[in-house]
Amino acid sequence: MPPASPNAPVPQPPTPGRETPLGRRTLLGVAAATAPVLAGLAAPPASAAGGPAAAHEKRRPAHPKPRALPGGGDLGPNVIVFDPSTPGIQARLDEVFRRQESAQFGTGRWALLFKPGTYHGLNAQLGFYTSIAGLGLSPDDTTINGDVTVDAGWFNGNATQNFWRSAENLALVPANGTNRWAVAQAAPFRRMHVRGGLDLAPSGYGWASGGYIADSRVDGQVGPYSQQQWYTRDSAIGSWLNGVWNMVFSGVEGAPAQSFPNPPYTTLDTTPVSREKPFLYVQGSEFRVFLPQKRTNARGVTWGSGTPRGTSLPLSQFYVARPGVSAATLNQALAQGLHLLLTPGIYHVDQPIQVNRADTVVLGLGYATIVPDGGVTALKVADVDGVRLAGFLIDAGPVNSATLLEVGPPGASRDHSANPTTVQDVFIRIGGAGAGKATTSMVVNSRHTIVDHTWVWRADHGTGVGWETNRADYGVVVNGDDVLATGLFVEHFNKYDVQWYGQRGRTIFFQNEKAYDAPNQAAIQNGPVKGYAAYKVGDAVTQHEGWGLGSYCYYNVDPTIVQHHGFSAPNRPGVKFHDLLVVSLGGNGQYEHVINETGAPTSGTSTVPSTVVSYP
């Protein structure tokens, strides 16, 4: 994330114009027993919740016959389901916000779910690890006459640390005509219909550093103001006000025309391949998960003509996990053919969650967080079709993991073009909430994988932070061919942030910062090269393409550090880049070039990007 006070100019409107987890405690007098229980479905066994049966399991014979686990279950005390007749909705929203507003590295996790209908006079303010969503098939099924607000009062009007929150599948009629969504990384705005305008900066137009919109319609104007970068995909907007450094659009009706670098708009008419994130909805009294179908050359929203295209699954086909469940139980459920629904909370795993079956869904609610213990990989996916990973956070543990997320085993080579694996709103963190280490955060080996919005972050603040304390050499490594990344945010790694070795890879929008805390030039020396590129394409790659990629440096320990370039790639006709930029934030370090030996150096303290429109 950018530093608290970068020196970039803040565009103004053209005219006046310590946190305690709640667990099973009550929330405003509502007992945990009133948490939603799905009708007709059994709750998970006590062992799944870490209760007495869990301890008993350890005394069983070494090879018992696995018992069948039930699908479905209680969504837990930190999922609150509202309908229009629920009393005291605003008070409940305010209480969750009070607990989460400044709990950047706290343990609270919340999902606020609204059944179809119309809600009047609400202002749902969202703090950390809070998701709000409608439970209809279309966002227009659930209308809030009011706002879903993210602002930055907790941080003196600076929104550059407004991470880990989301809004999905709602229609909003903003109280004053414009909704405020002042966020930074890991804060998706999906399947939303804003019947008015949308401001992406905090009140007073302080600093902001986001962000991501997909499958949404904004009837009025989108005002980024101070937002330094933004990616909007497969949506429709009334108009777009301004841009600071890097604004990227693909498949967006109403997007501004291509004009990078002035204004800094990168515009693609369509998104080559997309498949929207799975989402929870209600059908009668039954909870189901909708699985949108894949689109090619996508443009506009999926829900504009009524029921979206795709399939759905009853919750009886999911193992509804609760914090405290063992990795062994999760893997048993997967082996039985169940999908996983991770309810809000923190999950420690002592072995990888292993997804071996095609078309498996692993869906998190309320920023469910997986922490690998003992240096294991948190989650591994086999070389199979159509796996959907969505809506959870992986937090590195104190023992170094070789990898945190592995999509496909090494050497994976099967063709998944008809039914790719998708990784959506899956976020990775090393440090910040405590010391964590990982050599590589995410490895993508499976062909045709779509990585749709991720923030892979070696923490630059919080606890457990230091050049060696939260050591993490590599962010994202792509070995598979034909991989597409739409909305790739990767920051602060000790060496390369992204390494891409697969053929025919594509990235639409990339945001990066080099590690702030490099102690000196020698610490980042890469053989004869000054520093490690933010985004490196392997020397053997013959085809690769990227649009709208930015790298920033803020070497605040040693501001004299020089980074040779932000991007490194073989110089051949099939490797193409469009609209690249590098920025020195306030003169804390400098870049000599943008890509390879091309592009002017940054200089001084002006925080003005150096750009390359086309390479080679």
Name the nearest CA neighbour of 500 among 533, 528, 524.
533
Structure tokens at 407: 């999509």
Task: In whole angstroms, give the CA distance from residue 318 to residue 354.
Answer: 15
Query: Rounded to an integer, what is the distance from CA 290 to the centroid of its chain?
Result: 19
Q: How many residues does the chain have?
A: 616
- What token pair was written down for 94? 């305010």
Which residues neighbour 114 within 8 Å (Cβ) at sequence distance 6 or greater?
A: 81, 82, 83, 132, 133, 134, 135, 142, 144, 170
Q: What is the largest CA-CA distance in the chain?
A: 73
Q: Say if residue 21 is exposed, middle or buried (CB neighbours under 10 Å; 0-12, 13-18, 19+).
A: middle
Buried b (16+ CB within 10 A) or exposed e, 162-178: bbbbbbbbbbbbbbeeb
d(C-alpha 325, C-alpha 328), whole Å: 8
CA atoms of 156 and 102, how far apart (whole Å): 11
Encode 356-383 in three state secondary structure: CCCCCEEEEEEEEEEEECCCCCCEEECC
The CA distance from 129 to 108, in Å, is 7
Q: Which two tokens stand for residue 77?
A: 């005390």
SS3 content of the chain, % helix, strand, coil (to 5): 10, 40, 50
Q: Spell out the alpha helix ranges (H) of 222-305.
A: none
Contact partners, residue 396, CB within 8 Å, separation at least 6? 371, 372, 404, 428, 429, 430, 431, 436, 437, 438, 441, 470, 472
Q: Which residues are catalytic?
A: 513
Element (H, E) at 329: helix 327-335
Nearest partner of 191 among 340, 83, 304, 343, judged by Cα:
304
Query: Are the C-beta atoms of residues 181 and 204 closer than 8 Å to each other?
Result: no
* Cα–Cα dist 499/153, whole Å: 37
Tokens for 497, please give them.
């942030």
Beta bridge partners of 171: 143, 193
The CA-CA-CA angle for residues 284, 23, 42, to 5°, reads 40
CA-to-CA distance for 378 and 375, rounded, in angstroms?
A: 9
